[in-house]
Structure formats: structure tokens, C-alpha cells
Chains A and B, each alone.
Chain A
Amino acid sequence: MVLGGLLAYPIYQLGLISVFHYTQAQVSGGEPTTFEGFGNYSALFSDGQFWEVLLATVVFAAACVVSTLAVGCALAVLLTRVRAVPRLALMLAALGAWATPAITGSTVWLFLFDADFGPVNRVLGLGDHSWTYGRFSAFLLVLLEVVWCSFPFVMVTVYAGIRAVPAEVLEAAALDGASQWRIWRSVLAPMLRPILVVVTIQSVIWDFKVFTQIYVMTGGGGIAGQNLVLNVYAYQKAFASSQYSLGAAIGVVMLLILLAVTLVYLRLLRRQGEEL
């Protein structure tokens, strides 16, 4: 009940604000609050930039999820294959990345790729190439940072899952002459499905809501707003320019999208006859 209340009340407020004309002038009582109905939503949907940002967010989040899962699963399998010392080293390195606050991680990555002082340019001999200037190279840079700070969760969870798989099964597959990839594809992945579902949904939610990395690494949305994602866009509307109701409307849209993604995903799984 308490949990429900804690969850429901903010969402209720978000929805409420999104149907009013609610800016700083209304909050501090300079002007009366007026009911707008779906005015904020229609303003949002008729704004070309919103659709552009939404598309960029979906594509970027999808790329992040796929890369994070690929890296996380590959390293989890690697963990089961190496000796204790390298395993410990890899674990510690991953935990270090995981424990680093997003803002610190972003700043460090940005420094690594800095046009004037960054070691990456020096090693690759790129002179003063700017990584944040082009749209794709800026997104790529942020993607690397996002993958770096979120693969440990996938890796650790999947590793724990693999450990729980009976050793005989893997041994039998190996005796049958299955390759590493084949073992993953036909034995591990199906057995780990519930775990993979959880980490995928987690990753989708995280990467769809990415804020800090974009805000810090592209200076609040990149050249001419080319690297805006939905969360940063909402921040710009809601807090930087005090259009709280418009920001709330974006928040509601995000909530609905994430809810839909999760439901569709669960539905698909159920249809395949898997219970979670």
C-alpha cells in the first residue's frame, strides 16, 4: 500500500501537471493556472523536433542495449573459461566501472577523447580531431561510455546464471563436439532466458532514460541539438525554460513507451510458452 502510494502519487502529479498550462509564472502565483486538456500533448506531437529526438532516442537506446548485452554476455562466458586470477582481475575492473558515478565516468571519457589533450587522439595519431563535432561520432562516444558503465551488471548477472547451469549439460555438449558459439546458442541462452529477459528489460529502461552521459559529454545536447535524447529534451523544456507542463507531458509519453515496450516483451515471451 505504501509502495503503491509512493509510486502512484508522483505519476499522478506528473499526469496532472501535463494537462495544465503550468510554468514558473503559475507556480509562483504570477498568473492563474489554466486547464489545457491535451494542449501540451498536441503541442508536443506537432513539434517536428520532438519526433526527431524520439527517433534518435529509440535508435540510440537500441544500439546501447544490443552492445551492452553482447559485451556483457561475451565477458560472462569468458569469465567461466579463465583461471581464478584473471577472473578476479576482470571482476574487479568491471565492478570499478560499475561503481563509478555516471558524471565522473562521462568526464573521464570526454577527457580521453579530448581534441587537444586526449590520449586517444595521440595514440591513434589523429591530431586535433574533435569526436563530439559529428553527430554519429558524438553518439558513438556516448554509446561507448554507456556500455562501459552498464555491461558489468549484465556480466555479473549472466555469470551467476551460467554458474547455476549444471556442469553435466555443458560437458555433454562439449563431448558432442559443439563449438563455444553453439553451446551459447543452443544450451546456455535457452536455459538463461529468464535472466536475459530481466537484464534486457533493465537495459532498455536504463538506456532509454540516459541523461547524464549525453548532458555532460555533448554539452547538453550537442552542436545544434543533434545529440538530444528524450530525457535531456524534457529537462530543457521543464527546468531550463520553466515549461513544467510540457516537460511533464514528455515524461508521461516516456512512461507510456517504456510500459508498452515491457508489456509487449513479456507478452511475446508468454506466447512462446515460457514462464518467468
Chain B
Amino acid sequence: MKLSVRMVAVAAVLATAACAPQTSGNSSSDKDEKTGTLRVWLFQEVNNRPKEQVVDSVLADFEKEHEGTEVTVEYIPVETRAQRIKAAFNDPKSAPDLIEYGNTDTAGYVKDGGLADVTADFGAWGEAKDTDPTARQSVTVGGKIYGVPYFVGVRALYYRTDVFEELGLDVPKTQEELISTAKEIRAARPELYGLAVGGAYTYGAMPFIWAHGGELATGKGGSYAAAIDSVAARKGIEAYTSLFGDDNCPAAKCAAMTGNDTITAFAAGKAAMAIGGDFSHAAVEAGKVKGRYAVVPLPGLKAGSIAPAFAGGNNLGVLKSTTHRTLAVDLMKRLASKEAQGELFEAMGFLPTFSDVREQVAAKEAFVKPFVATLAADTKFVPASPAWAQIDAGQVLPTMFQEVVSGKKDVDAAAADAAKKMNDAFGSVG
């Protein structure tokens, strides 16, 4: 009996040492076929029909140009994109050639070995020179380019014109005024949140930190160090968390809210102000407050300045495992061309990533003006590190804000803890 137990133990050790867990050989393919079927995954939007029409017209031209090629497009649900794309990386045989992906995922996907390096193709692309710098940064990892920007999204301040008029308030011009105006509204109309904020709304909170000169992390290329506990960043955290309380947005409700929750509250007429994106426009239009609101850039510290905003959005990228690299790159450029991005804006309202195209569309559509102005002022991006996915999924920043607003920790302690967690993540990805 004793012997057999020992044998099993020995066998187990041997087995452990002998074989590692399964991995897939996701090396870049050396094939580059010029005909055949190209598979494309794009995100399924809430109202997807107009997007399909824009894409279809690009595809028609593409198929005409390249004889013997066929393109199949699959629209994948946004909620399950992470699993789908991971699965594609794990099984190169059934993976698509070209994908749309969220721009905060770039560094993670590059580390996973999923995206092809298209630096040379991007450089040779005539239209690339007009790509705005933040959008370019969102496809760049370690000095190399892994895709093309497809559209950008940015947030600004939505406010209720009727409430402001009734209470005789001016639109806030500084961050200080923003906070005091929010509290004034709450005092006069206790059924409303002054400014709807959320403890889990990272991208709504970041402008407060950036406006004070703080940063999430500092560094370049592979190595980052957390800067969320710097003096400037802590001032921003202080400012944002001061909005949680019975005098604006009660912590018991707002601590758990996400960005979507704040927009839902605003659209339902429960908040006098909210920080929403150009992509939130449709949701607000569909709500009770239609026709009774306006949008301005989120104010910075000084009167007339704009708080730096997070430049979200999506990119297109070619998978490393593709067997049709040349064709896939060509299709990627066509889908993200100036013309196609202009059409996509008209169809879906997604802001183009080319500065010149963006100015043209802003001249036509009044509602995008504050967003374009925000993009023109200053935008920031999350650290281009694969650790970001880990920090994001680990809820490091929401936890920090929630610890402060629920009174579990003070700003200094919560920021120090968050910085430690971020540094651990930066360290673990090497």
C-alpha cells in the first residue's frame, strides 16, 4: 500500500515535469494567398443595419478589385467579444483574418501573439498621415503598429437646459464650478442627482485626475510605473470623490454605478448633469430628456479650458495567423479609409480618426461639436501595456474610488493600494 502511494507520487512528479499545459502554435503563417475567402469579425452594434450597409459597399469594391476573392463578415456581440477573440487566438485554423477590437485591448492582444505587425503597411498608406496622434498611439505597442484606428469615442458634459434655466444657473466653466453647481442643483431639486457619477465609472473619473496634472502611470514601451498615488493624481481623486454624498449623488447608490448607469439616470430625467460619450447620444435621445439637454466639453481647472478626455474607440487589426496577409491588409485600409469613416459617421455617428475628416463632419452635425472640440484640446490614453487588461479586469480603479466614497479608506491609502496593485500587474507582465 505504502509503496503504491509513493509510486503514484513519483509518477505524478514525472508527469508534471514531462508535460506542460496545452498551448497552440500561433506562429505567423508564411502563406500569403491572393485568392480565396477572407473572414472578417466586426462588432455588432445596437442598431447594426446602417453599419452593415457601409461595410457592404466597401466589400463590393474590394471583391471587384480582387478577382477570385470572397469576404464573409460576421458581426459578433460586444459582450462576448473577449471570449470570441481569445478563442480565435487559441485556434488559428478557425480564426478570422481581420478583426475589429477595442483600443484598450491592443497591448494585451499583441502580447497574446494574436495581432500582426503592420508598421510598414501603415507607413506606406497615404491617408495615415492625417490620423490623429492619440488614435495612432492606440495601435502602437513598443514602437510598432498593430492595426489601424477605426473610430474614436470621447466623453463630454451633458446637462439639462430646462433645469439650468429654471434655477438660473450658468453652465460651469471650471471644475470647481462644476462641483459647486452640481451641489446647488441637488439642494434645490433633491430628487435629482446634480452630476451623476459612478464609483465604477473609470473613464468618467479620469478627466478629473488628468485635469489636475495626474497620470495613471508613467513610462514608455514595456515598463510602466503607477502614478495614481502622485500628489496631482490624488487631488483629482479628491475632486471626483467629493461628488459622492447626499449633497450630490448619494454614495449608497452611486458607489456601484457604471458609466452606463449614469447615462441611464440622465436619460430617465434623474440627473441634471452626466458625463457621456458621443456614442451615448442615441440613448439620451431615446430617453425622457430629449430636446431638453445640451452638451459642452467637460471643463478643466482654468476657465475656458477643457479637461483631458479618454480617447476610446475601436481599431481594425490583421491576425498573425492569416493566410491572406496582403489581401487582409488591403481590406483593413479600405474599411478604415477616410471615405469609409466619413460614411460610418453618417450611418452610426462614430467619430472619424482622421483630424481633417472629423472637422468636416463637425461642420455638418451640430451635436458632435463639443466632442470634436474635446478631441482637439487634449486626449489621453491608457498605458499601452498588456497589464492594463489585468488592471481593468481586476477593478483596481473602481475599487479605489469605492473605497474612498464608502469611507473605508482615505484618498492617500486607497491611492497607495491601487498604485501597488498596478505596479504588481506591470511587474507581472515583464
The 4 closest A-B pairs by CB, nearest first: A30-B113, A28-B89, A29-B26, A224-B402
Of residues 1 through 43 on chain A, the ones whose CB sits less than 8 Å from some CB of chain B are 12-13, 15-17, 19-20, 22, 24-31, 33, 35
Residues of B within 8 A of A115 (CB): 252-253
In the bound complex, do residue B393 and residue A241 qualify as a contact, i.e. CB atoms below 8 Å apart?
Answer: yes
Q: List 16 A-B contacts (CB under 8 A).
A: A16-B16, A16-B19, A25-B113, A26-B21, A27-B22, A27-B86, A28-B90, A28-B114, A29-B25, A30-B110, A33-B20, A35-B17, A223-B199, A224-B399, A224-B406, A242-B86
In the bound complex, do residue B252 and residue A130 qualify as a contact, i.e. CB atoms below 8 Å apart?
Answer: yes
In the bound complex, do residue B256 and residue A30 qualify as a contact, i.e. CB atoms below 8 Å apart?
Answer: no
Mask of B362-402 contacts with A, CB within 8 angstroms, 1/0: 00000000000000000000000010011001110011101
Residues of A within 8 A of B252 (CB): 115, 129-130, 133
Report if B141 contacts A (CB, 8 A).
no
Identify which of A27, A220, A225 gathers the most chain B CB atoms within 10 Å of its CB: A27
Mask of B248-263 contacts with A, CB within 8 angstroms, 1/0: 0001110110000000
CA distance A28 to B22 in the complex (A): 9
Size of the B side of the interface (Cβ < 8 Å), in residues, is 41
Mask of A125-159 contacts with B, CB within 8 angstroms, 1/0: 00011101100000000000000000000000000
Number of A-B contacts (CB under 8 A): 106
Residues of B within 8 A of A133 (CB): 251-253, 255-256, 406
In whole Å, how far is A240's beta carbon from the nearest beta carbon of chain B?
Answer: 4
CA distance A226 to B389 in the complex (A): 22
Residues of A within 8 A of B398 (CB): 224
In whole Å, how far is A217's beta carbon from the nearest beta carbon of chain B?
Answer: 12
Q: Which residue numbers of B lie inside 8 Å of A, CB to CB? A: 12, 15-17, 19-27, 86, 89-90, 108, 110-114, 199, 251-253, 255-256, 386, 389-390, 393-395, 398-400, 402-403, 406, 408
Of residues 224 through 248 on chain A, the ones whose CB sits less than 8 Å from some CB of chain B are 224-226, 236, 240-243
Identify which of B21, B26, B398, B402 gathers the most chain A CB atoms within 10 Å of its CB: B21
Given contacts A223-B402, A223-B406, A236-B394, contact A28 B27 (CB under 8 A): no
Among B12, B24, B251, B386, contact of A27 (Cβ-Cβ < 8 Å): B24
Residues of B within 8 A of A119 (CB): none
CA distance A224 to B421 in the complex (A): 14
Among B21, B26, B394, contact of A13 (Cβ-Cβ < 8 Å): B21
Given contacts A130-B252, A225-B399, contact A29 B113 (CB under 8 A): yes
In the bound complex, do residue B24 and residue A28 qualify as a contact, i.e. CB atoms below 8 Å apart?
Answer: yes
CA distance A29 to B15 in the complex (A): 22
In the bound complex, do residue B399 and residue A236 qualify as a contact, i.e. CB atoms below 8 Å apart?
Answer: no
Given contacts A133-B255, A223-B255, A243-B390, contact A28 B406 (CB under 8 A): no
In the bound complex, do residue A33 and residue B255 qualify as a contact, i.e. CB atoms below 8 Å apart?
Answer: no
Given contacts A30-B113, A130-B253, A133-B255, contact A24 B86 (CB under 8 A): yes
Among B12, B21, B23, B394, contact of A241 (Cβ-Cβ < 8 Å): B394
Residues of B within 8 A of A29 (CB): 23-27, 89, 113
In the bound complex, do residue B86 and residue A28 qualify as a contact, i.e. CB atoms below 8 Å apart?
Answer: yes
| Closest residue of B by beta carbon distance from A29 | B26
Among A13, A15, A28, A219, contact of B112 (Cβ-Cβ < 8 Å): A28
In whole Å, how far is A165's beta carbon from the nearest beta carbon of chain B?
Answer: 40
Among B108, B393, B403, contact of A224 (Cβ-Cβ < 8 Å): B403
Given contacts A16-B16, A133-B252, A223-B406, contact A30 B399 (CB under 8 A): no
In whole Å, how far is B430's beta carbon from the nearest beta carbon of chain A?
Answer: 9
In the bound complex, do residue A25 and residue B20 qualify as a contact, i.e. CB atoms below 8 Å apart?
Answer: no
| Closest residue of B by beta carbon distance from A224 | B402
In the bound complex, do residue B395 and residue A225 qualify as a contact, i.e. CB atoms below 8 Å apart?
Answer: yes
Residues of A within 8 A of B20 (CB): 16, 20, 33, 35
Given contacts A219-B256, A223-B402, A224-B403, contact A30 B21 (CB under 8 A): no
Residues of A within 8 A of B90 (CB): 27-28
In whole Å, how far is A139's beta carbon from the nearest beta carbon of chain B?
Answer: 15
Q: Which residue numbers of A lie inside 8 Å of B, CB to CB? A: 12-13, 15-17, 19-20, 22, 24-31, 33, 35, 115, 128-130, 132-133, 219-221, 223-226, 236, 240-243
| Closest residue of B by beta carbon distance from A241 | B393
Prevailing SS type, chain A contact patch = loop
| Closest residue of B by beta carbon distance from A34 | B20
Residues of A within 8 A of B114 (CB): 28, 30
| Closest residue of A by beta carbon distance from B111 | A25
In whole Å, how far is A96's beta carbon from the nearest beta carbon of chain B?
Answer: 30
In whole Å, how far is B318's beta carbon from the nearest beta carbon of chain A?
Answer: 15
In whole Å, how far is B61's beta carbon from the nearest beta carbon of chain A?
Answer: 33
Residues of A within 8 A of B86 (CB): 24, 27-28, 242
Residues of A within 8 A of B386 (CB): 25
> Apart from A22-B21, A30-B114, A35-B20, what 18 extra A-B contacts exist at CB < 8 Å?
A16-B19, A24-B112, A25-B386, A27-B89, A27-B90, A29-B27, A33-B23, A35-B17, A130-B253, A133-B251, A133-B256, A219-B256, A221-B395, A223-B199, A224-B400, A226-B408, A240-B394, A241-B393
In whole Å, how far is A194's beta carbon from the nearest beta carbon of chain B?
Answer: 28
In whole Å, how far is A17's beta carbon from the nearest beta carbon of chain B?
Answer: 5
CA distance A44 to B386 in the complex (A): 21
Residues of B within 8 A of A129 (CB): 252
CA distance A31 to B114 in the complex (A): 11
Residues of B within 8 A of A130 (CB): 252-253
CA distance A12 to B16 in the complex (A): 9
In the bound complex, do residue A33 and residue B395 qualify as a contact, i.e. CB atoms below 8 Å apart?
Answer: no
Residues of A within 8 A of B253 (CB): 115, 128, 130, 133
Residues of A within 8 A of B19 (CB): 16
CA distance A242 to B108 in the complex (A): 10
CA distance A133 to B408 in the complex (A): 12
Residues of A within 8 A of B25 (CB): 29
Given contacts A133-B251, A241-B390, contact A27 B23 (CB under 8 A): yes
CA distance A19 to B20 in the complex (A): 9
CA distance A226 to B407 in the complex (A): 13
Residues of A within 8 A of B408 (CB): 224, 226
Residues of A within 8 A of B406 (CB): 133, 223-224
Residues of B within 8 A of A236 (CB): 393-395
In whole Å, how far is A232's beta carbon from the nearest beta carbon of chain B?
Answer: 11
Residues of B within 8 A of A17 (CB): 21
